Structure 1
Amino acid sequence: MINIRKSQERGHAHHGWLDTYHTFSFANYYDPNAMGFRTLRVMNQDQVSPGAGFGTHGHRDMEIITYVLDGALEHKDSMGNGSVIYPGDVQRISAGTGIRHSEFNHSKTDSVQFLQIWILPDKNGHNPSYEQHNFGIAKHPGQFHLIASGDGREKSLTIHQDVNLYAAILTKGDRVTHSLAPQRYGWLQVARGTVTVNGLALESGDGAALSEETDVVIAATTDAEVLLFDLA
């Protein structure tokens, strides 16, 4: 079974410096029928104006993944980490017992666009931790790259949850397949472009919840970028 969450169904807010879309309930957007999928709780698509950003604020007991699509995002946190995240980079924060951080557009001239993803941890109270890695996804298009997992295999980021997160950049005509084991679920997020999933058409910003599906076949009908979550 595949349930599609269309891009235009998402929550939307424009704060001048921030143009944001919420696949699931977040901040002032609330939809009791869109509270997440399995342990995937937040899927926000944010575009931040040059030089602007989120001032220092706190999080706890959440696995936070940042995936940059365009531009550069500057990060600082209370653990002493400071970095700039570019396309191809993926950042993971395990907020655990509590962290404070800020995120600003690193550029004074160009906007930055990124996906902010929150995953519920397997338990509360983990020690806060941080990782960032460049996976070279654009250098190897047409295939899935494991970018986060519960065990950190294949040099993926390690998250405190039974989730495998894959990313792929596809050119028109590319076709990728992923098999879901019994009692596993999938969420496909189209970051850009258009694809089909098991024959159903998806556009940029669309998401799809996959239940009782064995083989997930994604075909790019234009150049595209997708994220696939394999969830317990």
Structure 2
Amino acid sequence: MSVALYAGSQRSSSTADGRVTRHSFSFGPHYDPANLGFGPLVCHNDDVLDPSRSDVAGYPDHPHSELEIVTWVLEGALVHTDSTGVRHVVEAGRAQVLSAGTGIRHSEVADPGSGRCRFVQAWLAPTVAGTEPSYVLGEAPPPGSGLVDVAGGDGLPLGTHGARLLVARLTVGESVALPDGPRQHVFAASGSVALDARVLHPGDAARVTDEPGHVVRASSDTELLVWSFR
């Protein structure tokens, strides 16, 4: 049983024209055999795209297969296009789930008219392989509603059984209880929170293992992202 803190300042990072990505786990050339994932979560990237710095800020067309890809937009707007014919502008406070299944191509770039874009993207291993690719887009939880299922649970359908992404928008002094489960990944996307006696600053994460009953309290206005696994 443990609560392990991971400072945002210690994450590895990648840069490209108009893009900075900070990685919570091993990713591409940033290999750490002791940090390959957390349960079914194999990628947790924090991307900032600046369309004023590049003609195409983000990720041009590229392939994926056998992944559940969950994206939460924190700022600006992200343009998603994929090989099934889907094209959506995903604005801040909205989520998308792309089930890559047997194979799909997609691109994700900043909407030039919306300025800087920031989003957090997670990749998870699917429970069942060989499914048809699919895409779904969801609305934001209203502020003050506590931790709300965004993907999995009562949120968007997700092909990783027992996985849930929950989001809370907290004002100073507000608190939420973490859901029960053997693994919780807690990420302070903005603002600062206290997890029991531990403090998470913007970009920090905590990985909670087999310790139910934790409470998170906001020290400032905060957007909190929690992955819960059963």
TM-score w.r.t. the length of structure 2 is 0.93
Partner of 1:106: 111
- Does the CA-based 8 Å contact 1:142-1:175 persist in structure 2? no
Q: 1:215 aligns with which of 202, 213, 216?
A: 213
TM-superposition CA deviations, 1:95-146 (whole Å, max 9, x none): 00000011111124611110011111113211111100112x3x33251111
Cα distance change of structure 1 residues 196 and 145 upon mapping to structure 2, 3 Å threshold: same
Residues in 2 aligned to 1:34 and 1:207: alpha-carbon distance in whole angstroms: 13
Alignment of 1:182-201 (within 5 A): 184-201=182-199
Partner of 2:159: 160
Q: SS at 2:214's partner residue?
A: strand
Instruction: State the Cα distance separating 1:16 from its structure 2 match.
Output: 3.5
Q: SS at 1:157's partner residue?
A: coil
Partner of 2:74: 69
Residues in 1 aligned to 2:204 and 2:114: alpha-carbon distance in whole angstroms: 29
Residues in 1 aligned to 2:68 and 2:62: alpha-carbon distance in whole angstroms: 16
Cα distance change of structure 1 residues 179 and 145 upon mapping to structure 2, 3 Å threshold: closer
Instruction: State the Cα distance separating 1:53 from its structure 2 match.
Output: 2.3
Instruction: State the Cα distance separating 1:179 from its structure 2 match.
Output: 3.6
Residues in 2 aligned to 1:148 and 1:19: alpha-carbon distance in whole angstroms: 25
> In the alignment, residue 217 of structure 1 is paired with which amino acid?
V
- Does the CA-based 8 Å contact 1:180-1:215 persist in structure 2? yes
- Does the CA-based 8 Å contact 1:172-1:223 persist in structure 2? yes
Percentage identity across paired residues of the two chains: 33
Partner of 2:133: 128
Partner of 1:92: 97
Instruction: State the Cα distance separating 1:3 from its structure 2 match.
Output: 0.5
Cα distance change of structure 1 residues 140 and 109 upon mapping to structure 2, 3 Å threshold: closer
Residues in 2 aligned to 1:123 and 1:5: alpha-carbon distance in whole angstroms: 30
Q: Which runs of 5+ in 1 are unaligned?
A: none
Residues in 1 aligned to 2:178 and 2:58: alpha-carbon distance in whole angstroms: 36
- Does the CA-based 8 Å contact 1:95-1:129 persist in structure 2? yes
Q: What is the root-mean-square deviation in Å for CA atoms of aligned residues?
A: 1.4
Partner of 1:24: 25
- Does the CA-based 8 Å contact 2:17-2:57 persist in structure 1? no
- Does the CA-based 8 Å contact 1:142-1:176 persist in structure 2? no
Partner of 1:146: 149
> In the alignment, residue 172 of structure 2 is paired with which amino acid?
K
Cα distance change of structure 1 residues 71 and 34 upon mapping to structure 2, 3 Å threshold: same
TM-score w.r.t. the length of structure 1 is 0.92
Which stretches of structure 1, 4 residues or longer, exceed 4 Å deviation after superposition?
Answer: none
Aligned length: 224
Residues in 2 aligned to 1:3 and 1:209: alpha-carbon distance in whole angstroms: 5
Q: Which runs of 5+ in 2 are unaligned?
A: none
TM-superposition CA deviations, 1:46-85 (whole Å, max 9, x none): 0111152211100000000111010000011011111000
